[in-house]
Structure 1
Amino acid sequence: MTSKFEKYHQLRNQVDQLSEQLSGLHQNHMACKKGCDLCCMDYDVFPIEYEAMKEALQNKQVDMQKSIDGSCIFLKDHMCQIYEQRPIICRTHGLPLLFMNDEQWELSACELNFTEFDDEDFTTENTFPLDKFNSKLFLLNQVFLKENNLSYSEFDLIPIHNLKD
């Protein structure tokens, strides 16, 4: 029997593989380490991710924190309590992200990383193609909603802090 989240987990694994590859490629510029939580926020995620996290956490003891200033409820003592179940957006943090914004390509990277790196040195080969993976996630979410007859719309995003309810 296959899990209703199998394709989502496959996509998550692809994100992890590329993220690991890019982390290795940029290791001299990455300041990310255990305890760094600058990017740990109360993100909104598609229903497929929300439901996958909800299912994965249903039998786990997690001390959910109150979201302070938009911080993630799973952040405790500067550590992610759900690291293995974290959403895709959290799996790409710190990396140079390439995406389309207002009809032009935009590059985004953590302010702690790439402090001595020229923007012209970024290429499609050494950045994370955010739009590509977000499109795949959007399409998976559409199928997931139809197959599971859920009342969300394909454009709904759910705040992670709703998992606390």
Structure 2
Amino acid sequence: MKILLIGANGEIGKILQPALAKNHEIISAGRTSGNFRIDLSDSNSIEKLFEEIKNIDACICVAGDCYTGDLLSLDEKKLNIGIENKLLGQINLVLIGQKYLNDNGSFTLTSGKMADKPVKNNISKAIVNGGINSFVLAASLELERGIRINAISPAKVSDIPIQDLINAYNKSVEGIINGEIIKVNY
């Protein structure tokens, strides 16, 4: 399978890339590293990436910035960091990428535990991760050509057994599930 991995040089990407590369061709993309460059907050950058890479079977996104801070420090500008980058970035990845992905391909987005179990100083993450999960549930009902979509919702990566994290992404990419939020070690 030819897999586009966005955020391959990030915390999760560094775990996934070597594990997936054992059985698949991995094309990496990131803001500052990887085979290709992408700015998730720019839909033109997303379109350009998909135009450059052909015959993608799966797209995994493990990238996206989000503001961390308490409610009193949160304002529209800080909230928009996560909305424009992680939430809209991943949504646009699907909206644009669905035209380019091979038939029966898949999207695997990344949300996070804060969608279901927020903690203090992480309101922005809760909003953004919840939005990603809702998008996956709704989009799974309408994607065409057999394309599937799922989200991985991990707890803090340092608290997760690495193999559990890898298994979650493998389940989404290699399996048949659609419209699932795969929770990892809550």
Q: TM-score, normalised by structure 2?
A: 0.26
The structure with the larger Rg is 1
TM-score (norm. length: structure 1): 0.28
Q: When you count helix as a share of all residues, which structure comes out higher?
A: 2
Structure with higher RCO (Cα < 8 A, 6+ apart) = 1
Higher strand share: 2
